A and B are shown apart, each in its own frame.
Chain A
Amino acid sequence: MTLLEAPPKQTPSPGRLVDMFEHGLDSPICLTWELTYACNLSCVHCLSSSGRRDPRELTTEECKGVIDELQRMQVFYVNIGGGEPTVRSDFWELVDYATAHQVGVKFSTNGVKITPEVAQRLASSDYVDVQISLDGATADVNDVVRGPGSYDTAIRAMTNLSDAGFTGFKISVVCTRQNIPQLDEFKAIADRFGAQLRLTRLRPSGRGADVWDELHPTSEQQRELYDWLVANGENVLTGDSFFHLSAYGSALPGLNLCGAGRVVCLIDPIGDVYACPFAIHEEFLAGNVRSEGGFQEVWRHSELFTRLRQPQSGGACTSCQFFDSCKGGCMAAKFFTGLPLDGPDPECVRGFGETALAQRAQDQAVPKPDGDHSHRTTRAERPRTRVAIPVSISLRRPDRPPVSACAEDPLAGFSPTQSDAGHGTGCAC
């Protein structure tokens, strides 16, 4: 009872709820499932380097098998993405199959297939939520990142959803140097469509690694973003991706912790299971749903996930006065900028990340994502160099579950209460 009343302790005592989360749940609370690497766009910052379909993609029947398994494991919902998931010809079939099997669906789309008819159909289901990607409040800012015409496509999809009476769908914005001056405009767009704004962090994953230097917010903008998020509170979702900004002052709404391999994970189009949606790299690969025992075996017994559920070291950051709220930041952001995982985040608000980036050896190779599915017409193959960086995640606050993470987590926004029935303040995904 009142397990979360217990004062913070360095040594976890058995029986506390938080420990159950730290040691991983028998099933994830939700997971990210990239259904395809195929995409009609070629966004410059794509986390999964999407473009071309992988011929090894899971078949319809295999996808249904995964859904059956998620149902058995009582995974409440999946965040479907890609690529552009709606370009799979069996997409709606799979959405219907999931919701008919008690697995809720939230899917991310650039809006290309959200016709008035589709919008009608989506509006009639309580079990499906939609997230439209938009990276500029104006076409000029958006289309530089997402491609010509993509702004109009997104706005048309939002209009269709709104006209169909679908309220509360999400508008998902990756915050960049170019669009942070537009935060109020994004909010106005969301209000206009009865939608909810969701801001997330630009990560140097996938093709994002190529553009991170030019696109990631300046330190002044980080401060501006933090102040804006504090002012807008829980009306704006963040997927808990900005916990490294908590060192500016009070913690932002959300749990502000990394749940990779503990309460969240990623399944990619060919069935590979990764600990973190932002780290498609062999260092974070736990197994494949096609292997014996399927997803459940990977989730419960893979060597990597077992390791991630062990107590972690905070390393160089532990002595920082802000470690308690920042926890050293994002594992994926560090990994793909070549920084040690137990050191500062590259966007550390105290500037330690910049120092660490400057101190990287000149000849040090930065880890690249394992798969480049970019359209060959638009992107050249990138050199594949590798650095071995041991996987670990930073020390969590002992009195709080390591939930959420940058990932898509209904616990983001949850604060421990004193009652016996805890509750999230909402899905802050």
Chain B
Amino acid sequence: MSISPVDLDLAWDIHPQVSVRPEPFGALLYHFGTRKLSFLKDLTLLAIVRALAESTSAREACVAAGVADSDVERYRQALDTLVRSSMLVERTP
């Protein structure tokens, strides 16, 4: 699937049809529209995803979750995966 990478300077939200279930390892995400399941495999990623709603950009959410600059690219890739499976959507004004 070809989709442009997540732009960290844009605002993103959890898709309104997605349910987030915290688990000891991170979280399970279920999309009621696509009926697909995703994992967040660590708690930092969950913190980022949770912070998206109050952040004006994905980068801001990473900062809020305490992600070091050197780790941002790795988490951007994880967010990419979530965008590709429609778990996250770009915020439209």
Chain A residues engaging chain B, CB cutoff 8 angstroms: 1-4, 15, 17, 20, 25-27, 29, 74, 76-77, 102, 104, 106, 126-127, 129, 410-411, 414, 417, 419-427
A-B CB proximity, top 10 nearest: A420-B78, A76-B30, A422-B39, A421-B81, A410-B37, A423-B38, A74-B21, A421-B78, A427-B35, A424-B37
The answer to the question of B23 belonging to the interface, with a C-beta cut-off of 8 Å to chain A, is yes
What is the interface size of chain B, counting residues whose CB is below 8 A from a CB of the partner? 32
> Is A420 a contact partner of B40 (Cβ separation < 8 A)?
yes
Chain B residues engaging chain A, CB cutoff 8 angstroms: 17, 19, 21, 23-26, 28, 30, 32-42, 45, 74-75, 77-82, 84-85, 87
> Is A410 a contact partner of B82 (Cβ separation < 8 A)?
no
Q: How far is the CB of A378 from chain B (nearest CB, A)?
A: 36
Identify which of A1, A20, A423 gathers the most chain B CB atoms within 10 Å of its CB: A423
Residues of A within 8 A of B23 (CB): 20, 25-26
Given A20-B23, A76-B19, A76-B21, A419:B77 Cβ within 8 A: yes
Residues of A within 8 A of B79 (CB): 421
Residues of B within 8 A of A20 (CB): 23-25
Task: Compute how far the CA of A37 lies from the CA of B63 in the bound complex, rounded to whole angstroms.
Answer: 54
Task: Compute how far the CA of A1 lies from the CA of B81 in the bound complex, rounded to whole angstroms.
Answer: 14
With CB as the reference atom, state the residue of chain A lying closest to B77: A419
Of B24, B42, B84, the residue contacting A420 (CB under 8 A) is B42
Residues of A within 8 A of B25 (CB): 3, 15, 17, 20
Residues of A within 8 A of B42 (CB): 1, 3, 420
Given A27-B21, A419-B78, A17:B41 Cβ within 8 A: yes
Of B19, B26, B41, B85, the residue contacting A102 (CB under 8 A) is B19
Task: Compute how far the CA of A267 lies from the CA of B39 in the bound complex, rounded to whole angstroms.
Answer: 26
